[in-house]
């Protein structure tokens, strides 16, 4: 019940505030199915089972607004970041959102949802609520090792293609690098991997707040164990309502909402404040505490390695005292990196290190705008000229 305390407090306080804002973005409150249908695109839901029993939803936009299904459409898998979900590739709408632009450019668009998040909170035998300790026992390692290969194989089976394009944002890049180094046979199934805000090494994390939190890793790890926290920040309807009430244009708290996004991603004004209620309609979409702990370990160790269970348990798990490093030299798929100088979660130094290690780097591009931050990769007002045009261009030319 621990996590509900603060939440109940917040819900309680809503009662004292006028509920309906004067201006609310027309897309606020809609989920991915409703949004994509509203924009006039077809959308399908597919269920994929992983080797370890998780049941994942892949959303598919099989074609764009004005094209028919007849021609062969190369599949693209887009994989979201931590606490995000499939909707974040489409909620900027037609003409802007990468998911929709790719569909309009002739691609068969598949949108992943990580295990444990809104659309993938299912397992063959485990119940996410009553078996939370077992169900929410994964980090980006398992997402990369099990989820991504299962999705790729499903897409290839369904479409009869031999390779896919892959686009990842943030954790969506980490999980790719895990897969490509731990299951190197999957490299041959990738035509091109476009990494937006790439995260492998984190030793230079620019975000001061998260850096401080990671410094206290041991305390946090102990707290998490004592309090039995497994699932973290799933989406509840009242989060949608909080977003609509506090973050809408007419709210006195609007600046605070904006500040919360910026303190995570880097300070910037490229996200339209009116758009925040659309974001909070589906995000946060759920995760597991171990994902955070694994990233905190990376910040402290500067290594890109498997989960650190502590010396004794590492011995049992891995037969060595420190967790095995991911071997980046095995990532032989063609990779293109897109990174930004104001990204508080992906430091230039850390991207540089990855860049120097990747054996098949085809492109590395700094977004040509100094203030571009971690969330601007999805939601900047000018995301098309700063980023999406480049991504579509590189996909077309491969």
Ligand X SMILES: *[C@@H]1O[C@H](CO)[C@@H](O)[C@H](O)[C@H]1NC(C)=O
Instruction: Give the whole-angstrom CA distance, residue 115 versus residue 109.
Output: 19
Helix axes 289-301, 217-227, angle to 10 degrees: 160
Q: Classify strands 164-169 and 190-196 as parallel, antiparallel or unpaired.
A: parallel
Instruction: Using CB under 6 A, pick the residue from 27, 34, 274, 352 that binds ligand X.
Output: 274
Strand order in the sheet with 44-49: 44-49, 55-61, 108-111, 75-79, 164-169, 190-196, 335-339, 361-366
Q: Which stretch binds ligand X (CB under 6 A): 38-46, 130-138, 149-157, 364-372?
A: 130-138
Note if 250 is an active site residue. no
Tell me the DSSP string of 27-86.
TTT--HHHHHHHTT---EEEEEE-TTSBEEEEEEE-S-SS--S-S---EEEEE--TT--G
Half-sphere exposure of 305 (CA within 13 A, CB side): 20
Q: Alpha carbon of 113 to those of 58, 169, 208, 317, 355: distances in Å?
A: 6, 12, 29, 28, 27
**Distance between CA atoms of residues 36 and 33, nearest Å:** 5
Span from 85-93, 131-139, 350-358, 379-387 in contact with ligand X (CB under 6 A): 131-139
Cβ-based nearer residue to ligand X, 101 or 333: 101
| Beta carbon nearer to ligand X, 249 or 332 | 249
Site for ligand X in 218-257 (CB under 6 A): 249
Contacting ligand X within 5-34 (CB under 6 A): 23
Structure tokens that stand for 359 in this block: 């054996």
Least CB distance to ligand X at residue 281 (A): 17
CA 286 to chain centre: 11
Q: Which of residues 95-114 bind ligand X (CB under 6 A)?
A: 104
Q: Which is nearer to ligand X, 110 or 296 (CB)?
A: 296
Of 25, 294, 338, 374, the active-site residue reads 374
User: What DSSP element (H or E) covers 220?
Assistant: helix 217-227
**Residue with the CB atom nearest ligand X in the bound state:** 301
137 belongs to the binding site for ligand X (CB under 6 A) = yes
Residue 215 or 370 having the CB closest to ligand X = 215
From the candidates 84, 86, 170, 287, give the one annotated as an active-site residue: 170
In the complex, least distance from residue 145 CB atom to ligand X, rounded to whole angstroms: 11
Say if CB 207 and CB 115 are below 8 A apart.
no
Nearer to ligand X, 104 or 376 (CB): 104
Q: Give one word for 322, left, alpha or beta, with left for phi > 0 and alpha for psi -120 to 50.
A: beta
Residues 299-318, mask of contacts with ligand X (x by CB under 6 A): --x-x---------------
CB of 152 to ligand X, least distance (A): 22
Q: Is 133 in the site for ligand X (CB under 6 A)?
A: yes
The least CB distance from residue 248 to ligand X, in Å, is 9
Residue 344 Cβ, how far from ligand X at the closest point, in Å?
22
Residues 46-85 that bind ligand X (CB under 6 A): 65-66
What does DSSP assign to residue 181? H
Active site residue 228: no
CB of 304 to ligand X, least distance (A): 9
Between 116 and 266, whose beta carbon lies closer to ligand X?
116
For residue 94, the minimal CB distance to ligand X (Å) is 6
CA distance 353 to 351: 5
* Closest of 133, 135, 140, 88 to residue 116, by C-alpha: 135
Binding site for ligand X (CB under 6 A): 23, 65-66, 94, 104, 133-134, 137, 249, 274, 301, 303, 322, 325
Q: Which residues are catalytic?
A: 170, 374
């Amino acid at each position: 019940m621990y996590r509900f305390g603060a939440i109940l407090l917040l819900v309680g306080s809503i009662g004292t505030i006028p509920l309906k804002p004067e201006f609310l973005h027309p897309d606020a409150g809609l989920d991915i199915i409703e949004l994509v249908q509203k924009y006039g695109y077809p959308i399908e839901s597919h269920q994929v089972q992983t080797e370890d029993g998780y049941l994942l939803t892949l959303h598919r936009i099989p074609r764009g607004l004005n094209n028919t299904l007849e021609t062969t459409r190369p599949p693209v898998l887009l994989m979201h970041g931590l606490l995000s979900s499939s909707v974040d590739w489409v909620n900027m709408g037609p003409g802007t959102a990468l998911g929709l632009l790719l569909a309009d450019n002739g691609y068969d668009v598949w949108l992943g949802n990580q295990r444990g998040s809104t659309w993938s909170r299912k397992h063959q035998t485990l119940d996410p609520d009553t078996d939370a300790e077992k169900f929410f026992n994964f980090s980006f390692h398992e997402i990369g090792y099990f989820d991504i290969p299962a999705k790729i194989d499903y897409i290839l089976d369904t479409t009869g293609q031999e390779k896919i394009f892959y686009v990842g944002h943030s954790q969506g890049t980490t999980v790719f690098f895990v897969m490509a180094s731990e299951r190197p046979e999957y490299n041959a199934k990738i035509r091109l991997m476009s990494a937006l805000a790439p995260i492998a090494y984190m030793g230079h994390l620019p975000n001061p707040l998260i850096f401080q939190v990671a410094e206290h890793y041991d305390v946090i790890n102990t707290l998490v164990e004592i309090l039995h926290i497994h699932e973290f920040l799933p989406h509840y309807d009242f989060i949608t309502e909080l977003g609509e009430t506090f973050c809408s244009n007419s709210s006195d708290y609007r600046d605070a909402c904006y500040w919360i996004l910026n303190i995570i991603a880097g300070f910037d004004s490229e996200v339209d404040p009116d758009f925040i209620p659309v974001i909070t309609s589906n995000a946060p979409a759920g995760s597991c505490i171990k994902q955070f702990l694994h990233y905190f370990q990376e910040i402290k160790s500067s290594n890109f390695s498997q989960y650190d269970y502590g010396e004794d348990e590492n011995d049992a798990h891995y037969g060595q005292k420190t967790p095995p490093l991911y071997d980046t030299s095995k990532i032989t798929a063609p990779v293109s990196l897109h990174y930004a100088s104001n990204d508080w979660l992906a430091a230039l130094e850390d991207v540089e290190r990855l860049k120097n290690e990747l054996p098949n780097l085809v492109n590395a591009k700094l977004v040509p705008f100094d203030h571009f931050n971690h969330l601007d990769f999805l939601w900047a007002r000018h995301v098309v000229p700063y980023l999406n045009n480049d991504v579509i261009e590189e996909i077309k030319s491969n």
